[in-house]
Amino acid sequence: MSARPTRGMVLAAGLGTRMGALSDTVPKPLVPVAGKPLIAHALESLEQAGVAEIVVNTHHLAAQIEAFLATQAARPGAPSIHISREEERLETGGGIRQALRWFGDDAFYVLNSDVVLAENGATALSRLAEAWDGEAMDALLLLCPVARALGYGGAGDFFRHEDGRLSRRGAAQTAPFVFTGTQLLHPRLFADALGGAYSLNRHYDEALLAGRLYGVVHGGHMLHVGSPEGLEAAERYLAGDPGGGAG
């Protein structure tokens, strides 16, 4: 890729119900992990990767998240932060589609707010940028080997072929890679989107059928903070216990 992406989005509109009673008073993006709110890890990765404009979608306990984001945007030299509040949840596909007005015509990063990429998330974003080929790709997903995905209990999401193209696990019992929630997307992926609430998986399937869904492999661990158990595993890992809470 000749020019690194300068825009990105953090998905922060989820309900966080798997966090239990905590989600009633604290939105999951603000749950502390290694001494700072979970969403701060994603924001720092984008900033370190040279992103100048960040969009964050909000819904559940939105005012709390937006107040924190205001403190981040006020830092000298910090990226601009745009809020895309969803009065009704639009899910991943609808949420990104609503935010497209901020991204122009170039590829942009999208990060989940409930994942920490250990071993430097900015390096992971650089790996995506270096692998991006706008002529061949509509979506480039960052994958992690299942064995290095802490807080994840599934059977894997994708197979990755020699040319980097992806196929879904489908009827197979397992697949070697899990999607980290970090990706590069091109706005043309949403050209036929009708709006409303829908999953981004719709566009992944469209790109897959067109041979334009690709993946690169993360060099470190993925820490999925989707539940209290995932939070505990992430805290142990970041405190220096890389085997703690695996699986």
Tens digit of each residue's pLDDT (9 = 90 or more) over 50-70: 999 999 999 999 999 999 999
Q: Give the mean pLDDT of 117-146.
A: 92
Mean pLDDT of the chain: 94
* CATH class of this structure's domain 7-238: alpha beta
Average pLDDT over residues 98-103: 97
242 band by pLDDT with thresholds 50, 70 and 90? low
pLDDT digits (tens, 9 = 90+) for 7-33: 999 999 999 988 888 778 999 999 999
Who contacts 67 (Cβ-Cβ below 8 Å, separation ≥6)? none
Query: How sure is the predictor about 1, in pLDDT bands with cuts at 50, 70 and 90?
Result: low
What DSSP designation does 20 have? G
- Residue 126, CA atoms < 13 Å, CB-side half-sphere: 10
Domain ranges of the chain: 7-238
Q: What share of the chain is helix, strand, coil (3-state, %, to 5)?
A: 35, 25, 40
- In whole angstroms, what is the distance from residue 204 CA to residue 166 CA? 10
